[in-house]
């Protein structure tokens, strides 16, 4: 069980993500070294340039007065060029390398969190809206990119740069180095701790408000017709406007705090420069410090501005990064209610018998995260999806379950493949309760065409082979013929290698549906659950596909899910669901 937000510590919130970063620690250390090299080159460039300009100015004055003076301009000039080239090359390399590292880290995080989502059951997934799941996988993970790029590497590099400045001054004037180090460390501490404290609450509220604002915007766009129909569009707009104004208030406050941090950088560095100049002037008047070194010291301190300027934007927004980490921690800690049994039973390789015994299914239709806080199932209303449903399907039998949207058809399918478990009753395959079967074995034996067509931004062949990785091109063409797409696919310029676009955008709705159907048929499973397999098709096409399906699915147990009794293939029985009850 996760601790409430107010009980969790900063270290515990970031610990899982620091462990993720550790997997690429070699790249992270190299990136931090490039960042430090950039800062040190900037310090060296400014300090050496000040010393060289002062030295040549003094030498010129002495020459004008007739004194014999010699100055080696080659080594300082070479050093200035070295620092200038190093600073430019290191900055370019650091930006390129660190951003590539962050993109790799984000890919790791998304893959890991997507793997977590694939293990969740329907009830767990129902806790958040689709827009909120999208926010977790995109906005929250993107917020975590600041963990290394802004919150770890820059303060470490700037702290080492401050120590480097103090060490440089120590070689020439230890009495100047110590006060300068103390002043710069105090400035660094304020920028790290003070800015984080001041901006924590507002930045946390901002990330939560952005999450709610995205969800409300998507709800308004998707439900515009319903909101107008029920006369609630104005109220929904007011809620959207209130969230927007709250977001703007926090953004303005964070902007002022960041400006404060920038001012602290300028003021802290400027006062430290004056301090170094004042202390150095005392040594100069005592003839223990030369004029060029007197100029070198404050200019070296002035270079600290570049190191410290990275801190205010990052630590003012620390609360947003922490809130994103906490929400993702809750996601990672989520566990599916669907668990493997300790001693699973294996299904025989044949068309199974299906039995529903007094199955009822109730679920929490309001359980979700509200901003930063999760509403528990006990606080939510229970909705009934199925109520005391009993039926059986014999091995090799073809049955159609008809019913309007929301009648419970998809719940029946999800119970069979054990995406959810019943609240009461039993779902059996070959007289075995599905809860006693191996999940992998169960799902390998059932081909499930879901109501929503899921195609990936890849080739037609790749999308089809998701159903069977060993399928050769002949099998792919065979299944395309079953779904009446073979002629269309052969006319494509690249044939099976044609990309279908993101979510199948290059295909029509009917074509995408048939590609998904062909993919399920490629599984060659012993039982098929086909949810609206003919959606978006004309009657002539439906008849051709239905005839081929009858031959292809011979001797397999088949359950069709359909809205009505039109355009049905040859079946032995028709069952009807209404409001979760079999009639």
* DSSP per-residue string spanning 372-419: TEEPPGGGS-EEEEEEEEEEEE-TT-EEEEE--TTSSHHHHHHHHTTS
49, pLDDT greater than 50: yes
**Among 112-116, 261-265, 458-462, which stretch is predicted with the lowest mean pLDDT?**
112-116
Count other Cβ atoms within 10 Å, centred on residue 194: 18
**Among 94-103, 113-122, 317-326, which stretch is predicted with the lowest mean pLDDT?**
113-122
Cα–Cα distance between 278 and 297 in angstroms, integer?
11
Half-sphere exposure at residue 278, Cβ-oriented, CA atoms within 13 angstroms:
8
Q: Using one digit for the tens of pLDDT, what is the confidence trace for 67-105?
A: 777 777 888 889 889 999 999 999 999 999 988 988 888
Q: Which two tokens stand for residue 172?
A: 């020439």
18, pLDDT greater than 60: yes
In terms of C-beta density within 10 A (0-12 exposed, 13-18 middle, 19 or more buried), how is residue 495 classed?
middle
Residues 6+ apart with CB under 8 A from 198: 257, 260, 316
Taking alpha carbons only, the member of 495, 470, 493, 469 closest to residue 480 is 495
37, pLDDT greater than 80: yes
Cα–Cα distance between 26 and 18 in angstroms, integer?
14
Centroid of chain to Cα 302: 39
Q: Using one digit for the tens of pLDDT, what is the confidence trace for 376-388?
A: 433 344 567 788 8
* pLDDT for 219: 78
Q: Which two tokens stand for residue 291?
A: 């004029």
User: 229 with 236: CB under 8 angstroms?
Assistant: no
Residues 6+ apart with CB under 8 A from 309: 262, 265
Count other Cβ atoms within 10 Å, centred on residue 275: 18
**Among 86-100, 365-379, 417-431, 450-464, which stretch is predicted with the lowest mean pLDDT?**
365-379
Q: Residue 193 phi/psi, 5° resolution?
A: -90, -45
Per DSSP, 495 falls in state: G
Rounded alpha-carbon distances, angstroms, from residue 525 to 98, 427, 446, 468: 47, 19, 5, 10
Q: Which two tokens stand for residue 414?
A: 């999800």
* pLDDT for 56: 84
Half-sphere exposure at residue 511, Cβ-oriented, CA atoms within 13 angstroms:
15
Residues 6+ apart with CB under 8 A from 27: 97, 101, 104
**Among 179-183, 324-328, 563-567, which stretch is predicted with the lowest mean pLDDT?**
563-567
Taking alpha carbons only, the member of 246, 107, 276 closest to residue 183 is 276
Taking alpha carbons only, the member of 152, 115, 572 closest to residue 321 is 152
Starting at the edge strand found earlier in the chain, the sheet holding 557-562 runs: 446-449, 527-531, 557-562, 398-402, 573-578, 581-582
Percent of the chain topping pLDDT 90: 21
pLDDT confidence tier of residue 370, bands split at 50, 70 and 90 = very low
pLDDT confidence tier of residue 228, bands split at 50, 70 and 90 = confident
SS3 171: helix
What is the SS3 string spanning 231-282?
Answer: CCHHHHHHHHHHHHHHHHHHHHHHHHHHHHHHHHHHHHHHHHHHHHHHHHHH
User: 241 with 159: CB under 8 angstroms?
Assistant: no
User: 554 with 523: CB under 8 angstroms?
Assistant: no
Q: Which helix (H) or strand (E) holds 426?
A: strand 424-429
* pLDDT for 7: 52
Taking alpha carbons only, the member of 35, 319, 255, 320 closest to residue 149 is 35
Q: At what angle do helices 25-64 and 291-302 cross, to 10 degrees?
A: 150
Cα–Cα distance between 564 and 535 in angstroms, integer?
12
| Top-ranked range on mean pLDDT: pick from 178-192, 313-327, 444-458 | 178-192
Residues 6+ apart with CB under 8 A from 525: 444, 445, 446, 447, 556
Taking alpha carbons only, the member of 471, 469, 474, 549 closest to residue 517 is 549
* pLDDT for 382: 52
Percent of the chain topping pLDDT 70: 93
Q: Provide mean pLDDT across the span 155-165.
A: 93
Taking alpha carbons only, the member of 445, 419, 408, 456 closest to residue 578 is 408
Q: Which two tokens stand for residue 491?
A: 């006319």
| Top-ranked range on mean pLDDT: pick from 121-125, 202-206, 269-273, 484-488 | 269-273
Q: Provide mean pLDDT across the span 175-198.
A: 94
Residues 6+ apart with CB under 8 A from 291: 54, 58, 284
């Amino acid at each position: 069980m996760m601790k409430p937000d107010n009980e969790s510590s900063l270290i515990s919130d970031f610990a899982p993500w620091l462990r993720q970063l550790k997997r690429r620690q070699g790249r992270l250390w190299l990136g931090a070294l490039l960042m430090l090299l950039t800062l040190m080159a900037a310090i060296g460039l400014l300090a050496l340039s000040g010393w060289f300009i002062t030295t040549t100015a003094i030498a010129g004055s002495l020459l004008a007065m007739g004194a014999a003076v010699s100055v080696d301009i080659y080594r300082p000039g070479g050093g200035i060029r070295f620092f200038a080239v190093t600073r430019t090359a290191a900055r370019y390399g650091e930006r390129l390398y660190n951003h590539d590292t962050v993109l790799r880290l984000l890919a790791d995080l998304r893959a890991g969190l997507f793997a977590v989502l694939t293990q969740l059951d329907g009830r767990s997934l129902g806790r958040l809206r689709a827009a909120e799941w999208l926010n977790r996988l995109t906005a929250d993970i993107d917020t975590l990119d600041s963990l290394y790029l802004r919150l770890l590497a820059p303060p470490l590099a700037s702290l080492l740069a401050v120590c480097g400045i103090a060490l440089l001054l120590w070689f020439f004037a230890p009495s100047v180095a110590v006060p300068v180090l103390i002043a710069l460390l105090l400035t660094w501490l304020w920028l790290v701790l003070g800015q984080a404290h001041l901006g924590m609450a507002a930045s946390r509220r901002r990330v939560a408000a952005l999450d709610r604002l995205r969800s409300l915007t998507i709800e308004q766009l998707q439900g515009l017709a319903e909101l107008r129909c029920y006369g609630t569009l104005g109220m929904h707009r007011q809620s959207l406007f209130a969230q927007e104004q709250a977001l703007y208030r926090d953004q303005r406050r964070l902007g002022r705090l960041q400006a404060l941090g920038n001012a602290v950088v300028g003021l802290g560095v400027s006062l430290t420069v004056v301090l170094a100049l004042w202390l150095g002037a005392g040594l100069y008047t005592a003839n223990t410090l030369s004029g060029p070194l007197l100029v070198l010291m404050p200019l070296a301190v002035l270079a600290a501005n570049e190191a410290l300027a990275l801190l205010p934007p990052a630590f003012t927004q620390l609360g947003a990064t922490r809130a994103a980490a906490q929400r993702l921690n809750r996601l990672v800690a989520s566990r599916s209610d669907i668990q493997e049994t300790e001693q699973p039973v294996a299904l025989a390789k044949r068309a199974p018998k299906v039995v529903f015994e007094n199955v009822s299914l109730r679920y929490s239709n309001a359980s979700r995260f509200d901003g930063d806080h999760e509403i528990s199932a006990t606080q939510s209303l229970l909705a009934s999806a199925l109520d005391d449903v009993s039926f059986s399907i014999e091995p090799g039998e073809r049955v159609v379950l008809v019913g309007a949207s929301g009648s419970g058809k998809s719940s029946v399918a999800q119970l069979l493949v054990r995406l959810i478990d019943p609240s009461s009753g039993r779902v059996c395959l070959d007289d075995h309760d599905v809860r006693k079967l191996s999940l992998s074995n169960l799902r390998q034996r059932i081909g499930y065409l879901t109501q929503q067509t899921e195609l990936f931004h890849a080739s037609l062949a790749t999308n089809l082979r998701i159903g069977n990785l060993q399928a050769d091109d002949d099998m792919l063409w065979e299944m395309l013929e079953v779904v009446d797409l073979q002629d269309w696919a052969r006319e494509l310029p690249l044939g099976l290698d044609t990309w279908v676009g993101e979510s199948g955008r290059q295909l029509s709705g009917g074509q995408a549906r048939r590609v998904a159907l062909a993919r399920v048929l490629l599984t060659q499973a012993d039982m098929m659950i086909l949810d609206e397999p003919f959606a978006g098709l004309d009657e002539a096409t439906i008849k051709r596909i239905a005839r081929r399906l009858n031959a292809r699915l011979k001797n397999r147990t088949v359950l069709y899910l359909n809205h009505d009794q039109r355009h049905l293939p040859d079946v032995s029985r028709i069952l009807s669901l209404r409001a979760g009850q079999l009639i």
